[in-house]
Protein backbone atom coordinates (compact mmCIF):
# COMPACT_ATOMS: atom_id res chain seq x y z
CA UNK A 1 0.00 0.00 0.00
CA UNK A 2 2.77 2.43 0.91
CA UNK A 3 4.77 2.05 -2.34
CA UNK A 4 1.64 2.68 -4.40
CA UNK A 5 0.84 5.82 -2.40
CA UNK A 6 4.43 7.04 -2.72
CA UNK A 7 4.39 6.59 -6.50
CA UNK A 8 1.10 8.44 -6.83
CA UNK A 9 2.54 11.32 -4.78
CA UNK A 10 5.69 11.40 -6.91
CA UNK A 11 3.67 11.41 -10.11
CA UNK A 12 1.30 14.10 -8.81
CA UNK A 13 4.19 16.37 -7.75
CA UNK A 14 5.86 16.08 -11.15
CA UNK A 15 8.74 13.79 -10.32
CA UNK A 16 9.44 10.67 -12.32
CA UNK A 17 7.17 10.14 -15.26
CA UNK A 18 6.08 13.75 -15.70
CA UNK A 19 5.37 14.69 -19.26
CA UNK A 20 5.94 18.28 -20.24
CA UNK A 21 4.01 20.23 -22.79
CA UNK A 22 5.81 20.48 -26.12
CA UNK A 23 6.44 23.95 -27.38
CA UNK A 24 7.60 25.46 -30.65
CA UNK A 25 11.08 26.01 -29.20
CA UNK A 26 11.68 22.26 -29.26
CA UNK A 27 12.02 21.45 -25.57
CA UNK A 28 9.56 19.96 -23.16
CA UNK A 29 10.11 22.62 -20.48
CA UNK A 30 9.91 25.58 -22.81
CA UNK A 31 13.43 26.85 -22.08
CA UNK A 32 14.20 27.69 -25.70
CA UNK A 33 17.44 25.71 -26.09
CA UNK A 34 18.50 22.31 -24.91
CA UNK A 35 20.49 22.44 -21.68
CA UNK A 36 24.18 23.09 -22.12
CA UNK A 37 25.23 19.71 -20.76
CA UNK A 38 23.36 17.68 -23.38
CA UNK A 39 25.24 18.39 -26.61
CA UNK A 40 27.94 21.03 -26.49
CA UNK A 41 30.80 18.77 -27.54
CA UNK A 42 31.48 17.57 -31.03
CA UNK A 43 31.65 13.81 -31.33
CA UNK A 44 32.86 11.53 -34.06
CA UNK A 45 29.37 10.36 -35.00
CA UNK A 46 27.81 13.84 -34.60
CA UNK A 47 30.45 16.47 -35.37
CA UNK A 48 28.22 19.57 -35.27
CA UNK A 49 27.11 20.40 -31.71
CA UNK A 50 24.00 22.47 -31.17
CA UNK A 51 25.87 25.10 -29.17
CA UNK A 52 29.37 26.49 -29.66
CA UNK A 53 32.07 25.34 -27.29
CA UNK A 54 32.68 28.84 -25.90
CA UNK A 55 29.50 30.77 -25.20
CA UNK A 56 30.91 33.55 -23.01
CA UNK A 57 33.46 35.54 -24.99
CA UNK A 58 35.99 38.06 -23.75
CA UNK A 59 36.74 41.32 -25.62
CA UNK A 60 39.46 39.79 -27.82
CA UNK A 61 37.23 36.88 -28.84
CA UNK A 62 34.31 39.23 -29.58
CA UNK A 63 36.57 41.32 -31.81
CA UNK A 64 37.61 38.15 -33.60
CA UNK A 65 33.95 37.18 -34.07
CA UNK A 66 33.27 40.62 -35.61
CA UNK A 67 36.28 40.19 -37.91
CA UNK A 68 34.88 36.78 -38.90
CA UNK A 69 31.86 38.44 -40.50
CA UNK A 70 34.13 40.06 -43.07
CA UNK A 71 36.33 38.43 -45.68
CA UNK A 72 38.05 35.25 -44.58
CA UNK A 73 41.03 35.96 -46.80
CA UNK A 74 42.02 38.75 -44.41
CA UNK A 75 42.15 36.32 -41.47
CA UNK A 76 45.48 34.77 -40.53
CA UNK A 77 45.87 31.05 -39.93
CA UNK A 78 46.12 31.62 -36.16
CA UNK A 79 42.86 33.61 -36.20
CA UNK A 80 41.11 30.85 -38.15
CA UNK A 81 42.32 28.31 -35.62
CA UNK A 82 41.14 30.54 -32.77
CA UNK A 83 37.69 30.81 -34.41
CA UNK A 84 37.59 27.04 -34.82
CA UNK A 85 38.45 26.61 -31.14
CA UNK A 86 35.62 28.96 -30.18
CA UNK A 87 33.13 26.76 -32.02
CA UNK A 88 34.56 23.26 -31.39
CA UNK A 89 36.39 21.63 -28.52
CA UNK A 90 38.47 19.19 -30.57
CA UNK A 91 39.49 18.56 -34.15
CA UNK A 92 38.77 15.23 -35.84
CA UNK A 93 42.42 14.25 -35.43
CA UNK A 94 42.21 14.92 -31.70
CA UNK A 95 38.92 13.00 -31.45
CA UNK A 96 40.36 10.00 -33.29
CA UNK A 97 43.72 9.82 -31.54
CA UNK A 98 44.35 6.74 -29.47
CA UNK A 99 44.12 6.95 -25.76
CA UNK A 100 46.36 5.21 -23.26
CA UNK A 101 43.38 3.81 -21.38
CA UNK A 102 44.29 0.26 -22.46
CA UNK A 103 47.40 0.45 -20.30
CA UNK A 104 45.30 1.16 -17.23
CA UNK A 105 42.87 -1.62 -18.07
CA UNK A 106 45.64 -4.16 -18.66
CA UNK A 107 47.38 -3.05 -15.46
CA UNK A 108 44.18 -3.65 -13.49
CA UNK A 109 43.66 -7.04 -15.16
CA UNK A 110 47.20 -8.18 -14.32
CA UNK A 111 46.89 -6.82 -10.79
CA UNK A 112 43.74 -8.87 -10.18
CA UNK A 113 45.32 -11.96 -11.78
CA UNK A 114 48.27 -11.58 -9.41
CA UNK A 115 45.98 -11.07 -6.44
CA UNK A 116 43.95 -14.16 -7.39
CA UNK A 117 47.18 -16.17 -7.72
CA UNK A 118 48.25 -15.05 -4.25
CA UNK A 119 44.88 -16.08 -2.81
CA UNK A 120 45.09 -19.49 -4.47
CA UNK A 121 48.66 -20.00 -3.23
CA UNK A 122 47.63 -18.99 0.31
CA UNK A 123 44.73 -21.43 0.20
CA UNK A 124 46.98 -24.27 -0.95
CA UNK A 125 49.52 -23.59 1.76
CA UNK A 126 47.32 -22.78 4.74
CA UNK A 127 43.77 -23.99 4.06
CA UNK A 128 43.88 -27.24 2.12
CA UNK A 129 44.79 -30.43 3.93
CA UNK A 130 48.01 -32.23 2.95
CA UNK A 131 47.89 -34.46 -0.10
CA UNK A 132 46.66 -37.97 0.57
CA UNK A 133 49.26 -40.73 0.61
CA UNK A 134 47.62 -42.37 -2.42
CA UNK A 135 48.91 -39.54 -4.62
CA UNK A 136 52.59 -40.08 -3.85
CA UNK A 137 54.85 -41.65 -6.49
CA UNK A 138 55.78 -44.60 -4.24
CA UNK A 139 52.14 -45.49 -3.67
CA UNK A 140 51.38 -45.28 -7.39
CA UNK A 141 54.32 -47.56 -8.21
CA UNK A 142 53.19 -50.12 -5.59
CA UNK A 143 49.62 -49.93 -6.89
CA UNK A 144 50.78 -50.54 -10.48
CA UNK A 145 52.89 -53.51 -9.39
CA UNK A 146 49.94 -54.95 -7.46
CA UNK A 147 47.68 -54.61 -10.51
CA UNK A 148 50.28 -56.36 -12.67
CA UNK A 149 50.68 -59.14 -10.09
CA UNK A 150 46.91 -59.68 -10.01
CA UNK A 151 46.86 -59.67 -13.87
CA UNK A 152 44.08 -57.09 -14.00
CA UNK A 153 42.27 -57.07 -17.39
CA UNK A 154 44.65 -59.39 -19.27
CA UNK A 155 42.86 -59.25 -22.65
CA UNK A 156 42.83 -55.56 -23.55
CA UNK A 157 43.86 -53.70 -20.43
CA UNK A 158 46.98 -53.06 -18.41
CA UNK A 159 48.12 -56.66 -18.06
CA UNK A 160 47.96 -57.22 -21.83
CA UNK A 161 50.74 -54.62 -22.32
CA UNK A 162 53.11 -56.18 -19.73
CA UNK A 163 55.57 -58.90 -20.64
CA UNK A 164 55.63 -61.22 -17.59
CA UNK A 165 58.65 -63.21 -18.78
CA UNK A 166 60.97 -60.21 -19.43
CA UNK A 167 59.41 -58.10 -16.62
CA UNK A 168 59.04 -55.01 -18.83
CA UNK A 169 56.45 -53.25 -20.97
CA UNK A 170 55.79 -54.70 -24.42
CA UNK A 171 56.95 -52.68 -27.38
Q: What is the dihedral of CA 26, 30, 36, 38, to 10 degrees?
A: -50
* N-terminal to C-terminal alpha carbon distance within the chain: 82
- pLDDT digits over 33-62, tens only? 444 444 555 666 666 767 777 788 889 889
CATH number, domain 40-97? 1.10.442.10
- pLDDT digits over 96-117, tens only? 888 899 999 999 999 999 999 9
List the domain boundaries for the chain: 40-97, 98-128, 131-170
Integer Cα distance of 20 and 22 in angstroms:
6
Assign 163 to helix, strand or coil: strand
Question: Apex CA 79: angle with CA 74 and CA 85, to 5°?
Answer: 140
Amino acid sequence: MLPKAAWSLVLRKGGRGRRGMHSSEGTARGGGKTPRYTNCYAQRHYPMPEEPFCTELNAEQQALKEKEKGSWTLLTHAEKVALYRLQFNETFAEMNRRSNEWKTVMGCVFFFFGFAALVIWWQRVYMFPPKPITLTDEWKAKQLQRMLDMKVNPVQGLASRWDYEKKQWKK
